[in-house]
Every structure is written in structure tokens, then in C-alpha cells.
Structure 1
Amino acid sequence: MIIITGTSRGIGKAVAEHYLSRDEKVIGIGRNHPISHPNYSSINCDLSDPDAVDQISFPQLGEEPIIFIHNAGILGKVDYFERLESKEIAQVMQVNLFAGATILQQLLKKLPKDQSFKCIFISSGAGKNPIASWASYCASKAAVDLFCQTIQLEEQELGRNDFHCLSVAPGVVDTDMQATIRESNQNSFSEVERFKEYKNSNQLYSTELVAKKLLKLIHETPLNQVLYSLRDIEL
């Protein structure tokens, strides 16, 4: 069973479709569900709403291996931190970290300690290197890295032996988020020209490539750490 947040487009949709092509059962969590497949089921939820996320419940998951991928993420308003409203900052943290953490906690409570369980949070290079005008996003992705490391440590101590919690940076991907970045005003985002050049010089990964690399990491790579970059995964 594969559980994925944010399957309406981008990386999440590509990953879901890859799993469906392998005859896996997929549960998508989010506001929109354009995927139509007999093995796809959906949970409608606005991940920016903490109360809505708290209400998520899962059907009987059985004893099969479970993979949870918290892919949903938002950049937030691209502008200098002193110009942001507190609700804009909170929304980024809620979608990028807290929503996934809430779902993960429910799964950890529900699944037996001996059931195979892999949890993957999509992180970012922006969580390791500061980018002006992305303070909320950078902070949320840095938090994802340490959160996943801590959960891995805790679950080892609690005796969950067939468990991996991964924080995976996909690289710079050709998604709607990148399109939004390129539309930023120079006065709000000093590096906008660099991101335009990524697109113009074909340096962006396709969502299809990212999905293939992510599945290879999850299913074919010896998992001996928590932090990974898909740049290091060769097809």
C-alpha cells in the first residue's frame, strides 16, 4: 500500500502513476484527484488546515508493506521575511512539515512494530543552503531533515526494526512551483534570473525522471542513512 500526499500534479502525480503501473494500491491525500485508476483511492483534505489533517483516517491497511510519501509542499510567498504575514509563514510550515508529521504519527500508532514501513518526506537543497526570500520554505525543509533523522532514531529505540524514515531532496524539478519562482519580481527575489536560466538551459529534472529515481531509491537501494539526494541515484 502506497500513501502519497499531493497527487494532483507534479512529483506526487508522477510517483502515484508509476506505482499504479506496477499494480500497487495507492491512496492519494489532497484537495484534487485527477487520477482515475481502479487501484487509486483518494482522501480529500486541505493539508494547510490542521483540523482537517487531524480528521484523516485510513481503511484497514492489512499486513502488507506500507510506504508513506509526504510529497505535498508549498513555497509560500516569495519575499523578504520582514514583509511576510505570520499566517503565510505558518501555512508553509503546516503543509511542508506538520501535515506529514500528523499523518505519520497516526500510521506509527496504527501499524504493528513488525510491519514493514517506509516513510519518505520530500525535502530540498533549500533546507541545507539559505536562499533569500525563501525563509519559510528553507526553514520548513531544514526541519524535515532533522525531523526524519529524529523519527528514525526514536523508532529504532522503540523496536520498529523494519522501518526507514527518509528525507529525500529531488533536485530542481520542472513543476508549477518553479514556474511561480520564475514569475517573481526582482525586488522581492534577487535570484530570479538564476531560476529562469535553469529553465532556459534545460537544467530542470522532469517529474517522470524524479519518480523513477525515487522508486529506485525506495526499492533497490540499501537504505543505511536518512538524508538522500536523487542527484546521487543513477538509473
Structure 2
Amino acid sequence: MFTGLVEIIGTVSTLEELDKTGSGGGGTSLTISDAQDILGDANLGDSISVNGTCLTVTQFDKTSFKVGVAPETLRRTNLGSLKKGSNVNLERAVSASTRMGGHFVQGHVDTIASIVSVTPDGNALTFRFKPRDPAVLRYIVEKGYVTIDGASLTVTKVQDGPEGWWEVMLIAYTQEKVVTAAKRVGDHVNVEVDQVGKYVEKSVAGYFEGAANGEFAILEKMVNKLVDERLQALGK
């Protein structure tokens, strides 16, 4: 579990393709340097969020650490596009004493999104994102949270639909702390939506399914009642 508050920006120093016949299963091993600020209390097996993706530390020293990235993770995230010298957002998993300044982030990427526009607004920047999977838009609401490359950000605008998008604003301080500020139109970011929306959706769906008891669905009754009331009001 993470907070979405990026601690530092690290640098990819090496990428190594893993043998398909070995334990790596054909994934990639990443070594990330310039990470000394988060390795003072590191242990093998620790979880570190790399661009919003929860990965396991397999080796480390005072300034760098290594993680393995499975093929499925490469397909579902932007980690497959990393190169030597790429910068990445880093955050350690939460501890009992961590301040929850962002929101609950799992490090499980839901989809990737492309940057469709970057608009200056004073010393801030407004980024508009279009998701590869439009279905995630139902979990994104104005003034709600969304995680972009591991950074917890507030949604400022959202447009639903197959061609939908959402926007976030990066203030000057945030621009210095996350990799997103250096990205351009056409670049991709990892996206994790707020898990609260998913739990609410499942709970509501379960309630209506369980309450139907083989009769007409309660939701259908509610809709019919609202339609009847509306028709009566129009008739007057």
C-alpha cells in the first residue's frame, strides 16, 4: 500500500531482458539508481512503487536497487517503454508512522493513458489524459483522486464517453517532484483509479442483485416509478 506522495525521482541505470526459460519468465530486470534517500531502511522483498507500479526489491546497495518486471506488467504499464537514463517516480510502501497526505494507492495499474494536451495556467500546468481503456472513466470524478505514474493528483475536469478524458493541474512545486511534468503530448502514463469507487460499485450491484429475490429488479422498479412521476408531471 502507498500514499501517492512521490518521495524521490530515480534513474534507470540498466535494463536486462530475463531468460524466458528461467524464473523471470521473459520479463525485464531494472536497476534504478539515485535512490539513496529511500534505501536507508531497505530490505530484500520490500515493495517500492516505480511509476505507480508495485515492484519487489531483489537486490540493493546504498544508492541503487533492482526489481524484476513480469511480462504481464510490461503489457499493462508504461514500464516497457523505459530506457537507460529514464526518470521514474519512487515511493516506499507505507509504514505505521506514515502520514496519509495523498490517498490509498495499491500500486496496481488499471490502464495507461496518453497525454493529449499540456496547457500552461500561470506557473501551473494542466494535463489532459485519454485512457486506453475508457471503462476507467466511471471511477474518475471531478475533485476526486487519480494516481498518475504513482503520484496522487486531484481531478479538475472529466469528460465521460468513448472519447472521454480527464484533467489534472500540476502546481510549480509538484512539477519539481514528479516525472509527469517533463512529459509531452503523446507520452504515456500509468493510471490507477481510486479503489473506493470500485468498492462502492460492487457493493451497490450486490445490494440490488440480492434484494431482487427473484422478482422484478428493484432498480427497474425505481426507474419505472420515476418515469411515471415524470409523465404525470408533464401531463399537468
* Shorter-chain TM band: under 0.3
Q: Pick the structure with more strand per residue.
A: 2
* Larger CA Rg, structure 1 vs 2: 2
Q: Pick the structure with more helix per residue.
A: 1
TM-score (ref. length: structure 2)? 0.23
TM-score (ref. length: structure 1)? 0.23
